[in-house]
C-alpha cells in the first residue's frame, strides 16, 4: 500500500491518460494518476478547469484497461466536490464506480477536510493535494510558488495536518519552496508526493508528456525531460510526408498482393 511507504524507498508516480501509455508505464511506477491536467495536455485547454467528470471517467477507464499493477488514482475535477461533502461523495462514487480505480484525488487542505473525511468514510481512498493548486490558479492570479512567507508556510502546515487528519492516504505537494516541502514531509505521517517541491518528499510525480519531452507549449521549470519525443515525432512526420509526396510510400511491403495473400496479424 502507498500509505505504508512513508519514509521508505521513494514512491514513483506519473500521470497517464490513455491505454497505451498506461501499458508502457505500469511496470515502472507505483502509482498512475489520471490527472485533470489531461484537459491541457490532450484537449488543449489553457487550465485544468476544462476537465469534467465525464472526461476524467473516460480517461480513467482507458488507463485502468492498460494497468495491471500500479495504484490508479483519478483526479476529481473542479466543480465536482467543492460545494459540499454530499456532492464530493456522489462524484467520488461515480468516478470509482465507472472506472474501477483504486482512489480519487482532490485539491485543498483545511477547506476541503470535510469532503475528504466524507469520501474516506464511504470506503474510497483519497489522495490530497496542497501547495500550488492548479484548479485555483485563476483565483490565485496565476501559478504562484507557495511557502515564500512565514504566513503562507504556516497555512501549508495547517493544510497538511487537515488532510492527514481527514484520512487521506497520501498528499501531493506542488509548487512549494523546497525547505517548506521537506519540513511538511517530516511533519506528517502520510507519504508526500512532490512536484516542484523537494527531493525529501516520500515520492515524486511528473506529467508524462512533460517527462518524455512531448509537451508542445511551456514546460514547467521543475520538469526534467528524460526524452525528447517532440523531435522524434516531428522528424518521423517529416520523413513520412516526403515519402508520400515522392511516392516512396507505400512500397511493396505495405500493400496487399493477390498472389501473396498478405494479411495483417
Known active-site residue 107: no
170 three-state secondary structure: strand
Q: How many residues appear in the chain?
A: 265
Q: What is the largest CA-CA distance in the chain?
A: 78
DSSP, collapsed to helix, strand or coil, labels residue 128 as strand
Quote the cell numbers at residue 260.
Answer: 501473396
Strand partners, 13: 31, 205
Long-range contacts of 24-28 (CB under 8 A, 24+ apart): 25/70, 25/208, 26/66, 26/67, 26/68, 26/69, 26/70, 27/69
The CA distance from 239 to 134, in Å, is 38
* Residue 141 main-chain phi, psi, to 5 deg: 80, 25
Element (H, E) at 235: helix 229-245
Determine which one of 82, 98, 151, 174 is catalytic: 174
How many alpha carbons lie under 13 Å from residue 179 in its C-beta half-sphere? 6
Q: Is the C-alpha dihedral spanning 15, 76, 31, 55 positive or negative?
A: negative
**Cβ proximity of 126 and 114 under 8 Å:** no
Angle at 169 between CA 166 and CA 170, to 5 degrees: 105
Q: What positions carry a catalytic annotation? A: 174
Amino acid at each position: 500500500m502507498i500509505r505504508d511507504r512513508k519514509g521508505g524507498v521513494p514512491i514513483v508516480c506519473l500521470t497517464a491518460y490513455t491505454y497505451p501509455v498506461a501499458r508502457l508505464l505500469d511496470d515502472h511506477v507505483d502509482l498512475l494518476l489520471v490527472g485533470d491536467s489531461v484537459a491541457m495536455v490532450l484537449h488543449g485547454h489553457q487550465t485544468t478547469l476544462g476537465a469534467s467528470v465525464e472526461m476524467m471517467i473516460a480517461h480513467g477507464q482507458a488507463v485502468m484497461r492498460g494497468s495491471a499493477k500500479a495504484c490508479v488514482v483519478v483526479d476529481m475535477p473542479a466543480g465536482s466536490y467543492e460545494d459540499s461533502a454530499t456532492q464530493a461523495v456522489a462524484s467520488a462514487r461515480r468516478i470509482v464506480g465507472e472506472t474501477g480505480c483504486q482512489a480519487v484525488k482532490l485539491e485543498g487542505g483545511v477547506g476541503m477536510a470535510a469532503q475528504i473525511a466524507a469520501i474516506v468514510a464511504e470506503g474510497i481512498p483519497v489522495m490530497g493535494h496542497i501547495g500550488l493548486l492548479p484548479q485555483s490558479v485563476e483565483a490565485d492570479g496565476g501559478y504562484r510558488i507557495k511557502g515564500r512567507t512565514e504566513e503562507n508556510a504556516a497555512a501549508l502546515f495547517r493544510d497538511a495536518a487537515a488532510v492527514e487528519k481527514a484520512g487521506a492516504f497520501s498528499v501531493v505537494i506542488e509548487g512549494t519552496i523546497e525547505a517548506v516541502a521537506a519540513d511538511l514531509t517530516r511533519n506528517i505521517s502520510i507519504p508526500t508526493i512532490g512536484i516542484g517541491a523537494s527531493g525529501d518528499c516520500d515520492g515524486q510525480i511528473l506529467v508524462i508528456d512533460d517527462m518524455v519531452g512531448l509537451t508542445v507549449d511551456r514546460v514547467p521549470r521543475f520538469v526534467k525531460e528524460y526524452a525528447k519525443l517532440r523531435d522524434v515525432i516531428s522528424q518521423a512526420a517529416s520523413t513520412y510526408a516526403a515519402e508520400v509526396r515522392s511516392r516512396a510510400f507505400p512500397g511493396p511491403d505495405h500493400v496487399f498482393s493477390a498472389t501473396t495473400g498478405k494479411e495483417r496479424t
